[in-house]
Amino acid sequence: MSQTPSDAPTFMLHPRKPKLSLPLGACDAHVHVFGPGKHFPYAPRQGATPADAPKERLFALHDFLGISRCLIVHTAAHGTDNSVTADALAAKGGSYRGVALLRTDVSDAELKRLDAAGFRGARFHYMPHLEQAATIDEAIAFGARLADLGWHLQIHMAPELIAELAPAIHRAPVPVVIDHMGRVDASLGLDQPAFRALLHLLRDRNVCVKVSGADRISRQGPPYADAVPFARKLVAEFGDRCVWGLDWPHPNHRGPIPDDGELADLIAEIAPTEMLRKMLLVDNPQRLYRFAVESAP
């Protein structure tokens, strides 16, 4: 398929310094790396080629924000070739982990290779703009192959699908992490059916959720005040199963490019006590992604 080159970054080159000091060992549990395309070709697809957002940019951002641990979620822009993510993990020597995009017929040898490289999960998309690699039943069945590795499943789904996919998710043999607060529409309020379905799903202690994507679920724009009550409620009720992430470099974003310093400061509203912030940013990621117990450098 033909592609149109794109030079415009989807991330802010100079975000502001956050006011909030993050705890030692804080983890950004949802980012991506894109390219550079000359070293890591993009998968053929319709539309514009993504702008490069390489590992060096990500590392510099984390240093600026005071983040020392990270989960890189492999991007669909690179297909099921997870090399660009593996390269970033190798540069960080264990303080960064990864989530892969895989076909369910991937070999056991490849799974073991990715595990040794620092991958800790596999992501499946159920969003209109992203290719579906497997049905939810196929993804859940694939989870049985991940159990021996200590991996998890990561599910990225449209909000109207939460109730429909929930019965399958309850059968998962490994932990399941739900992306971006279920992609609910903040303008519909806390009592909307999709958010009620997410809360019901989270009664299952095998299910976790990312309180990332405030900028995606907001309908008001910066500073995303309409999205904060959703994240705050999730942390208040399921604090031991929530993780947080910037979603840098904000691919497929609609509206103004988010300021990552502003997103980091939202943590103070999402998790208003030091105990909740340590759980969200340090303890939960350490357990889920199997970081070393010692403090991050």
Catalytic residues: 247
d(CA 121, CA 178): 12
Beta bridge partners of residue 157, listed in sequence order: 126
Rounding to the nearest 10 degrees, give the CA dihedral for residues 179, 61, 72, 165: 10
Q: Which residue has the tokens 């070293």?
A: 39
Return the structure tokens found at 110: 């490849």
DSSP summary character for residue 279: I
Which among 189, 208, 200, 230 has a CA at the least distance from the CA of 30? 208
H/E element holding 136? helix 136-147
Number of H helices and E strands in the chain, helices first, is 12, 10
d(CA 94, CA 119): 10
List Cβ neighbours of 263 (8 Å cut-off, separation of 6 or more).
214, 215, 246
Return the structure tokens found at 105: 């017929």
> Residue 107 corresponds to which amino acid?
S
Return the structure tokens found at 139: 């993804």
Burial (CB count within 10 angstroms: exposed 0-12, middle 13-18, buried 19+), residue 60: exposed
d(CA 186, CA 226): 6
d(CA 66, CA 183): 27
